[in-house]
Structure 1
């Protein structure tokens, strides 16, 4: 059974586009254009995730998120035309799982929906030792090797590398990687991830050839 996504967006054109892309990817959708209607549909449909616009009639998105979060841990991705840092921090501070600023690519939103849903599902414990090509990562010892060479990585770089290695070649969004760094709740800028990846590529040498950028989404590590 496909997951239900509740789209809360008062701009009909944007809502139509999001609905089209999500349904094309196999999701079921529900639509609301006001804050009160969003709460009604959330309680009735019990969606797997909310795509929640910040500026809504009736109740704004932040208040909707507060009321939902008071009763449930359902994932929430905020959508807004306001990109001020304080707005982002407030959105994340009340329990939003991600934050996308307009204008956005619908494909990016779908990718973030998938990423947040993956992150919200319980996963089995990862093995202590991970292998990606010639790269070996021992998460118990917090040590990475390229062949026989021990790599001089920071704690943040090791955490980032572990998150990518555990993904098995799947793309990890910048917000997911921030979460792995333990920085998302503190409002650290996503460009921090880019800086860590740049350093990782330099330090990994030949073992970093599989560390790929996926434009507009994030990164992946392939053998």
Structure 2
């Protein structure tokens, strides 16, 4: 997030793990409470699309860490919502059956998504879906994606995969990106957090895992404490 609001709870408030909402879920919200230091564009963005994206941050009971999207790449604001204001949630994988807005269907990122849905066998054994601007537009029906947008996808991988499977997945997505003239940025959701598919495919001895309590380098993102 470019900017983040101060938490609406004290520093010593116990943090809780809320399993109902996961990172990258889109939440339709009835109210977004104003906070100090809120960028000027936030109110207009929320009026245009009353949704927020669950982000990776710990929260006290009754609150959820979210991000608000504006109309440009630079307009990202991290804030907090009361869970009583959540009307519904949409997971990335639930968006695979949603048709894009007709005026944007030929944009490279959405062409890449259509190709992944129809052709890429390497993905079929996984639960996955679009995030980022493509996911936001599919969920909210608000114009968000542009001709230059990348395609972001989340792939759920709760169990360890061998390196050949990881490499095949990376190669398949790279080929789709090349054919669609765009970039496909895939994040793997593991038991310890999110990891870039590119890092796993590179066979690094340690990879950067992003979790609700921060980012860290780990040797095995599938190892649980």
Normalising to structure 1: TM-score of the pair? Answer: 0.29
Normalising to structure 2: TM-score of the pair? Answer: 0.29
Which structure features the higher share of helix residues? 1
Which structure has the greater CA radius of gyration? 1
Which structure features the higher share of strand residues? 2
